Amino acid sequence: MDAALEQFVYIETAIGGGQNRNKIRRFDKFTPPTKRPDCFATYLRFTEDIVTYVAATRNENGNPTVSGYAGPSLATFLPADFDCADDLNVALTDARTFVGLLGDRYDVPSTAIRCYFSGSKGFSVEVPSTLFGEFKPGLNTPTRLKLLANELAGGIDSLDTSIYESLRLWRIPNTVNGKSNLYKIPLTVDELQTLTLSQIQTMAKAPRTIEQAPDNDWEERPDLVALWRETEVQASRAGTHGTDLGDEGSRLLTRSQVARLIEGVAAHWELGRKHDLALCLAGFLAKSGVAEKQTYAIIDRLAANDGRPDDRRKAVSDTYAKLNTDVPIRGFNGLREIVSPDVLTLLRHLVDDAETVVIAGGRRYQKDADASDVLADQEPASTKDNNTSTPTPTKKSDILGSLRGEAETAPDRFVLETLQSTETIGALAIASRQDHGQYQAFLLSLREIGVKAGDLKRMEQAISRADRGTRSKFRLLSTEDGANLPRVVDSLPGSPVTSDAVIPPGYKLTQCGITEESISEDGERRTVAVSPAPIVIAGRLVDVSDGSESFRLSWFRDHAWRQQTVGRGIAANAREIIGLAKQGFPVTSRTSGDVVGYLGV
């Protein structure tokens, strides 16, 4: 069980109807009764904070209650519920349509999709989070799930969006629906698509089980990962949580990245599709966190010789206006219908590689690619262009002072919200290393403000883990010696890595695999076969709840790049990494040590 799952293990349950809710249990120790009707549990999981909250909170009758709880939550799957009390066949048809879209558009295996008949007026579908690159805990998880479901469903009428609430109860499979005396039963995708409603209802007269593969059996789908990422900015802006990034955005494309983007999109900038392309590109960039000003600049360059530049700019302004609402915004999915797969992949990679920007106290803190200076000098957000290239200096005290101000405003929630921002934790890690005395004074001031000692300890642990992460071994082309190393993309065109990724010194990486070359003490050249297939690190992830690191390993097999996200403890351990062999990862007990040495994590 990874670090997030170890903390998010609590659910709310209701046995015998929703009126019996407010019972908090560990999901792994909860066995629903088989003979009681209407058994429910939240589909979201929570930390031990919800236990403390319920113990201290009473309703008007003096009983413990979850009402008002607003802590972080974790989803292990995307739920989609299709209801139609007037005509159950409508719900069945819509559920079939939704499942078909998952397979046809996003290449989701039918065996990865869990389907259910509710026993009464609807059908539900569950899509494992591993297909989306794994959902991470957050304060706005329900809002993000709602945006994601709407995007995937594409306007299916009977999709019930009211289920996307933090404490929403979800009927437990193979328990009786009190209204119909039928069971909520699992169905295979084939059964959902082919059985009649009457046949399904007959099956629901008794509980049933079907074989369902574990969620971690499935590899992420890049397009689904992109759609999940798109929800982050809009959910933060539309809801009450997260940082309002204003016009500064949360991602900054470099000049070369902008040039590559424009070059790729320009081939599709044709009469009859310019409006839709401007709208969808603006939506994709907006939902990815790119600043409105930078998006305007991109659209202006694309429309430089256009007869309707005002229409293209209006597409940008209309899109960013919607960003502060939960109104659907056309973005990545819309681009899928306009641009080629190669350009779509390019756009996805450019946004993934974009620099991250943190906004605190009116200033922009740009996270450099090598993480050596998270507190990069930037111009204050309120400063206008004064025709000078000299940036206004910023200091470590700027972000510490800004965060101290946030703590004074809401000391009880300060740590909880800080832990949701990987960038803020990373900035604090750099500050602690550059001036430990100032950092300790900052922690002391938080105690004086009223931040709880236990919360501070959790934050310090996350900062410590992030500090170790910023001292990683990864080397980039921007470094002096890195510029002399061969780039991965030059050896393996089309590989899922950033343009800055380099091959570690001493190794040779080709389509035929990996070898390590060295010279012994007596001058003899030696070559060791590390892997029969190429392996690259496609991404590094940091868990928002505790700062633990994971890596997205990618390898070439059966004419395609396959990916698997694993914890650092697996990627750095010769005995643990062997477990990936069952998923096709090119490693054996003999080569595991060499593979771990090559990864160098």
**pLDDT tens-digit profile of 312-336?**
999 999 999 888 777 888 999 999 9
End-to-end CA distance of the chain: 21
* Same-domain pairing of 201 and 94: yes
* Same-domain pairing of 406 and 508: no
In the prediction, which pLDDT does 381 show?
A: 35
Q: What is the pLDDT of residues 527-542, one digit of tens each?
A: 788 898 899 998 877 7
The encoded tokens of residue 405 equal 């101000």
* Same-domain pairing of 417 and 344: no
In a domain, 112, yes or no: yes
In a domain, 226, yes or no: no
In the prediction, which pLDDT does 168 show?
A: 95
Q: What share of the chain is helix, strand, coil (3-state, %, to 5)?
A: 40, 20, 40
Question: Rounded to whole angstroms, what are the CA distances from 336 to 136, 229, 284, 310?
Answer: 25, 16, 11, 24
Contacts of 392 (CB under 8 A, 6+ apart): 377, 378, 379, 380, 383
* Reported confidence tier of residue 377, pLDDT bands at 50, 70, 90: very low
Tell which residue, 344, 347, 265, 253, has the closest CA to residue 302.
265
pLDDT above 60 for 359? no
Sign of the four-CA dihedral 462, 579, 555, 285: negative
| CB burial readout 407-424, b (16+ within 10 A) else e | beeebebbbbbbbbbbbb
**Size of the chain, expressed as the number of residues it contains:** 601
Which one is predicted more confidently, 456 or 203? 203
pLDDT above 60 for 3? no
* Same-domain pairing of 192 and 258: no
In a domain, 360, yes or no: no
How far apart, in whole angstroms, are the C-alpha atoms of residue 458 and residue 443?
Answer: 12
Average pLDDT over residues 478-482: 40
* Reported confidence tier of residue 412, pLDDT bands at 50, 70, 90: confident
Q: Which residue carries 């009473």 as its tokens?
A: 58
In the prediction, which pLDDT does 538 show?
A: 85
Q: What is the pLDDT of residues 24-37, one digit of tens each?
A: 999 999 988 877 89
In a domain, 250, yes or no: yes
In the prediction, which pLDDT does 356 show?
A: 65
Which of 471, 505, 521 is the last residue in one of the domains?
471
In a domain, 413, yes or no: yes
* Domain count within the chain: 4
In a domain, 549, yes or no: yes
In the prediction, which pLDDT does 376 show?
A: 30
Name which of 142-146, 247-251, 326-330, 336-340 the model is least confident about: 247-251
In the prediction, which pLDDT does 592 show?
A: 85
Per-chain mean pLDDT for the chain: 82
In the prediction, which pLDDT does 73 show?
A: 92
What percent of the chain stands above pLDDT 70?
83
pLDDT above 90 for 110? yes
Tell which residue, 494, 491, 497, has the closest CA to residue 513.
491
Q: Strands, DSSP E only, in 278-385?
A: 355-360, 363-367
In the prediction, which pLDDT does 328 show?
A: 83
* Same-domain pairing of 281 and 408: no
* Same-domain pairing of 378 and 256: no
Average pLDDT over residues 101-119: 94
Question: Rounded to whole angstroms, what are the CA distances from 123 to 75, 117, 147?
Answer: 19, 5, 20
Under DSSP, is residue 306 helix (H, G, I), strand (E, B) or coil? Answer: coil
Prediction pTM value: 0.60
pLDDT above 60 for 520? no
pLDDT above 80 for 380? no
* Same-domain pairing of 118 and 29: yes
* Reported confidence tier of residue 398, pLDDT bands at 50, 70, 90: low
Question: Rounded to whole angstroms, what are the CA distances from 407 to 41, 344, 414, 449, 452?
Answer: 34, 41, 5, 7, 11
Contacts of 76 (CB under 8 A, 6+ apart): 5, 45, 128, 129, 135, 215
pLDDT above 80 for 15? yes
**Cβ–Cβ < 8 Å for 102, 171:** no
Q: What is the pLDDT of residues 169-216, one digit of tens each?
A: 999 999 999 989 999 999 999 999 999 999 999 999 999 999 988 888
pLDDT above 70 for 154? yes
* Same-domain pairing of 324 and 405: no
Type of residue at 79 = P
* Reported confidence tier of residue 146, pLDDT bands at 50, 70, 90: very high
* Same-domain pairing of 25 and 80: yes
* Same-domain pairing of 301 and 403: no
Query: Which CATH number goes with the domain that contains 120?
Result: 3.90.920
Which one is predicted more confidently, 482 or 393? 482
DSSP-assigned letter for residue 488: H
**Cβ–Cβ < 8 Å for 196, 101:** no
In a domain, 108, yes or no: yes
Name which of 171-175, 362-366, 549-553 the model is least confident about: 362-366
Which of 422, 452, 471 is the last residue in one of the domains?
471
What range does the domain containing 92 cover? 3-217
DSSP per residue, 320-382:
HHHTTS-S----HHHHHTTS-HHHHHHHHHHHHHSEEEEEETTEEEEE-TTSS-SS----BTT
The encoded tokens of residue 446 equal 């938080």
In a domain, 239, yes or no: no
* Same-domain pairing of 85 and 151: yes
In the prediction, which pLDDT does 504 show?
A: 85
How far apart, in whole angstroms, are the C-alpha atoms of residue 531 and residue 592?
Answer: 9
DSSP-assigned letter for residue 37: B
pLDDT above 60 for 244? no
Q: How far is CA 510 from the centre of its chain?
A: 30
* Same-domain pairing of 432 and 558: no
**Cβ–Cβ < 8 Å for 4, 543:** yes
pLDDT above 80 for 225? yes
Which of 418, 440, 471 is the last residue in one of the domains?
471
Most confident by average pLDDT, 186-200, 291-305, 331-345, 436-450 = 186-200
